[in-house]
Amino acid sequence: MFWKTRITLTLYNIGVIGAILSLIALVIFMKSQNFLYHAENKIEDPVTFFHRSFMIILTSLILIFLGGWFISGKALVPIKKAWQKQMDFTADASHELRTPLAVIQTNLELIMGNPEETVESQTKWLENILIENKRMTKLVEDLLTLSRADANQQTLDVSSFRIDKVLDQAAESFKPLAKNKFITLNIDTNKKISFIGDQSRMYQLIVILLDNAIKYTDAGGKVTLALKQKEKSVVILISDTGEGIESEHLTKIFDRFYRVDKARARNIGGSGLGLSIAKWIVEAHHGSIDVRSYPDQGTHFTITLPYGQ
């Protein structure tokens, strides 16, 4: 489907390169005519002259076309990549939405099939609908965040705040979950550090990483959240002693919808968008996010954020 664009680009290139080359050819031609006229006081035989000119023009046109075709091919590479990414994203999003919709449909059919039953006796089906509906709402919210980020419409609500308090709040909300899973949650956020950025996005970032750390760590494991201060930046460390990630997956986990084990991640509520959003939040704050992981030993995320905007 890109061949039409490529031909259009090639024609543009031909126009531009052709115009430049024609100008150069014209100058050379005029100079050579001038030279012949003055030096030998005669002009070339018109038939030979036209034959030669025709061959030169034809060769130039072929070369210009090939050059234009090559340049337009190169120019299209990033466009093709972006297009493919967009297509994959749409396909993945539709696929992800299809599953909860199918579950909702099936459960509704079960309820509708037994109209004489009480609401109480149908609680199981209603709960399934509720869970899938929540999952779908979260998915749509995440998709909206990412598509707005792509379109540069997702602006940050910047203010000055205590980042240590944000980390504490996020960690607090995970204490019951960690306790239920018999995971020790270590919080090392003693330093009072002021930061300029988007407070709710920072909270969301920590929630995504803590949620993953607890999700992918078994009972008896440890999750640590630490905050460190450097001269020009704050460093947030989130590490766990969980299942870890094989090195072949490490570069892909920030890609949209990427999950190491799709079926398992879905069962524990993962859509594969969390780390893409985390990366966007960090980059929107001009920071960086790094991951180190060792299978069966654990995963360590390091976020470095420069002070202020």
Interacting residues toward ligand ADP by CB under 6 A: 208, 212-213, 216, 240, 242-245, 253, 258-260, 265, 270-276, 299
280's tokens: 């966007």
- Chain-centroid distance of CA 43 in Å reads 65
Residue closer to ligand ADP (CB basis): 14 or 132: 132
Which residues, 6+ apart, have CB-to-CB distance to 239 below 8 Å?
213, 223, 224, 298, 299, 300, 301
Cα(22)–Cα(138) distance, integer angstroms: 60
Which residue's CB atom is positioned nearest to ligand ADP?
Answer: 270
Residue closer to ligand ADP (CB basis): 89 or 258: 258
- For residue 294, the minimal CB distance to ligand ADP (Å) is 10
- For residue 221, the minimal CB distance to ligand ADP (Å) is 10
Q: Is 196 helix (H, G, I), strand (E, B) or coil?
A: strand
Residue closer to ligand ADP (CB basis): 279 or 285: 279
Which residues, 6+ apart, have CB-to-CB distance to 195 below 8 Å?
160, 161, 162, 163, 202, 234, 305, 307, 308
- For residue 229, the minimal CB distance to ligand ADP (Å) is 24
Residue closer to ligand ADP (CB basis): 185 or 260: 260
Q: Specify the DSSP element, H or E, that contains 19.
A: helix 3-40
Which residues, 6+ apart, have CB-to-CB distance to 159 below 8 Å?
196, 197, 198, 199
- For residue 167, the minimal CB distance to ligand ADP (Å) is 17
Residue closer to ligand ADP (CB basis): 163 or 245: 245
Residue closer to ligand ADP (CB basis): 9 or 275: 275
Greatest Cα pair distance, the chain, in angstroms, is: 112
- For residue 156, the minimal CB distance to ligand ADP (Å) is 21
- For residue 232, the minimal CB distance to ligand ADP (Å) is 27
- For residue 272, the minimal CB distance to ligand ADP (Å) is 4
What's the DSSP call for residue 218? -
The DSSP-derived string for 125-175 is HHHHHHHHHHHHHHHHHHHHHHHHHHTT-----EEEEEHHHHHHHHHHHHH
Residue closer to ligand ADP (CB basis): 18 or 274: 274
Half-sphere exposure of 283 (CA within 13 A, CB side): 13
